[in-house]
Amino acid sequence: MPHPRNTRLIPVMILLALIGIQEAASAVGDPSTGEPIPQALLTRIRSHAADLEVATRPLRAEGDRDLQMRRLAGEKAPAALNALVMLCDFSDSLLLGRYGVVPGDFPQPVQFEIPNTFAAHDSVYFDYLLTNVAEYFRSVSGHRFTLNFTIAPGVVNLEHPMGFYGNHPQYGEQSIALARDVVAALDPVVDFSGFDTLILIHAGAGGETDFYGLNPEQIFSTYLGPRDFASAVQDTILESPWLAGDDFGGAAGIDRVLILPETEYQEPFGRLGSLGVYCFEVGLRLGMLSLTDFTPAGNVDSQGIGIFGLMGYGLYSGAGLIPPEPCAFNKYLVGWLDPQVVDPHAAGTYALTPAENPSAETASARVDINGQEYWLLEYRLQDPDGNGMFSFPGDLNHDGIPDFYDANSDYGNGWPTGVYDPQADTLESLAGAEWDFAMSANTGRPGGVTAAGSGVYIWHVDEGLIRAVYDAEDNLFNSDPLHKAVDLEEADGIQDLDSPIPSDYTYGGDDDSFRGEDNHEFGPYTRPGTESAAGAYTGIVLRDFSNVVADSQGVFLGVVEGDTLWGIAFADTIRFSVGSVGEAAQGPMFSRQRTLPGVDLRGSHVLVGDLDGGGTPAEIILAGHAGEVYALDGNLREYFDADGDSATVEPLLVSTRDGSAVNWNLPVALGDLDGDAKPEIVLTGPHGLYAFDGTGQPLVSGGDGFGLWADLPTCRVPPILASLGDPLGPAREDVSVAAFVIYEDNGHAWLDGFASGQPGFFPAVGLGPGAVGAPPTLAFGQWFLCALHDSLTGESSLELVAYDRDAPNDAPLRGSIALPVIPGPWPLTWGLAQKEGEEELRFVQVAGRDGSGATLFFNAAMVKVGSIHEWGPAVTVQSAMAPGGYFVGPDLLGGIGHGGDWSDGWPRRPRDMGTGVGGGGPLVAWLRGVDSSRPQTIFPLEDGSLIALKERGEEIQGWPVSGPGTGAVTPALGDLVGDGELDLVAAGSFLRITEPGADGVSLDGDYSSTVMMWRDVAAETAAWPMSGGGIWRNGDYDAEAWIVQSPGSIGSGMVLGSHTFYPNPLGEGPLYVRGEARSPGRARAFIYNLEGELVTTTAWNDVVSGDPFTLIVPLDGVATGMYISRLVVDAGGETTHSVVSFTVVR
- Work out the mean pLDDT of the chain and round it to a whole number: 89
Q: How far apart are CA 660 and CA 523, in angstroms?
A: 47
Residues whose CB is less than 8 angstroms from the CB of residue 498 and which lie 6 or more positions away in sequence, other chains included: 302, 303, 481, 482
Shared-domain flag, residues 88 and 177: yes
Q: Is residue 1036 part of a domain?
A: no
Does residue 791 surpass a pLDDT of 90?
A: yes
- Count of all residues that appear for the chain in the document: 1146
Task: Give the 3-state secondary structure of residue 1077.
Answer: strand
Q: What is the pLDDT of residue 542?
A: 98
pLDDT one-digit tens code per residue, 542-553: 999 999 999 999
Bridge-based pairing of strands 563-570 and 1003-1018 is unpaired
What lies within 8 Å, CB to CB, of 437 at 6+ separation is 15, 18, 19, 318, 322, 382, 383, 390, 391, 450, 451
Q: Same domain for 1000 and 1108?
A: no
Greater confidence, 560 or 437?
A: 437
β-pair partners for 927? 1018
Residue 1135 has pLDDT above 70, yes or no: yes
Q: Do residues 228 and 172 both lie within one domain? A: yes
Do residues 479 and 556 both lie within one domain? yes
374 with 610: CB under 8 angstroms?
no
Specify if 346 maps to a domain: yes
Is 9 within the bounds of a domain? Answer: no
- Average pLDDT over every residue of 956-971: 86
Asked whether the whole model's pTM tops 0.75, one would answer yes
Q: Give me the phi and psi of 280, to 5 degrees please.
A: -60, -50
Q: Can you tell me the distance from the alpha carbon of 682 to that of 671, in angstroms, rounded to the nearest whole number?
A: 8
Q: For residue 1054, is it within any domain?
A: no
Same domain, 817 and 718: yes
- Greatest mean pLDDT range, 355-364, 836-845, 917-926: 355-364
**Domain membership flag for residue 766:** yes
Kindly state whether residues 380 and 475 are assigned to the same domain. Answer: yes
Same domain for 386 and 533 = yes
Higher pLDDT, 23 or 527: 527
**What pLDDT is recorded for position 50?**
33
453 contact partners, CB below 8 Å, separation of at least 6: 380, 382, 439, 440, 508, 509, 510, 511, 512, 513
Domain count, the chain: 5
What is the span of the domain harbouring residue 401? 395-428
Higher pLDDT, 187 or 17: 187
* 407 and 444 part of one domain: no
pLDDT of residue 558: 87
111 Cβ neighbours under 8 A, 6+ residues apart: 95, 96, 121, 203, 204, 205, 262, 263, 265
pLDDT value of residue 914? 52
Query: Is residue 25 in some structural domain?
Result: no
CATH number at residue 1081: 2.60.40.2550
* Predicted confidence (pLDDT) per residue in 863-902, tens digit: 999 889 999 888 999 999 999 999 999 889 999 999 999 9
Summarised one tens digit per residue, pLDDT across range 895-921 is 999 999 999 899 998 764 454 556 799
Q: Do 710 and 782 belong together in one domain?
A: yes
Cβ count within 10 A of residue 741: 24
Cβ contact 467:20 at 8 Å: no
In the listed set 550, 582, 614, which residue is the last one of a domain according to the structure?
A: 582
The answer as to whether 21 is a domain residue is no
- H helix intervals, 393-501: 463-469
Does residue 1026 form part of some domain? no
Q: Are residues 849 and 986 in the same domain?
A: yes
Task: Render pLDDT for 1-57 as a digit per residue (tens, 0 to 9).
Answer: 334 333 322 232 333 333 333 222 222 233 333 333 334 433 433 333 333 333 445
Q: What is the CA radius of gyration of the chain?
A: 36
Residue 1072: is its pLDDT beyond 60? yes
**Alpha carbon distance 133, 83 (integer Å):** 12
Residue that is last in its domain, among 1018, 1049, 1077: 1018
98 lies in the same domain as 211: yes
| pLDDT score of 269 | 66
A 10 A CB-CB count for 300 gives: 18
Do 95 and 239 fall within a single domain?
A: yes
Up-side HSE of residue 261: CA atoms within 13 Å toward CB? 30
Which of 582, 602, 622 delimits the end of a domain?
Answer: 582
**Predicted local confidence at residue 1045, as pLDDT:** 59
Q: Assess contact for 798 and 785: CB atoms under 8 A.
A: yes
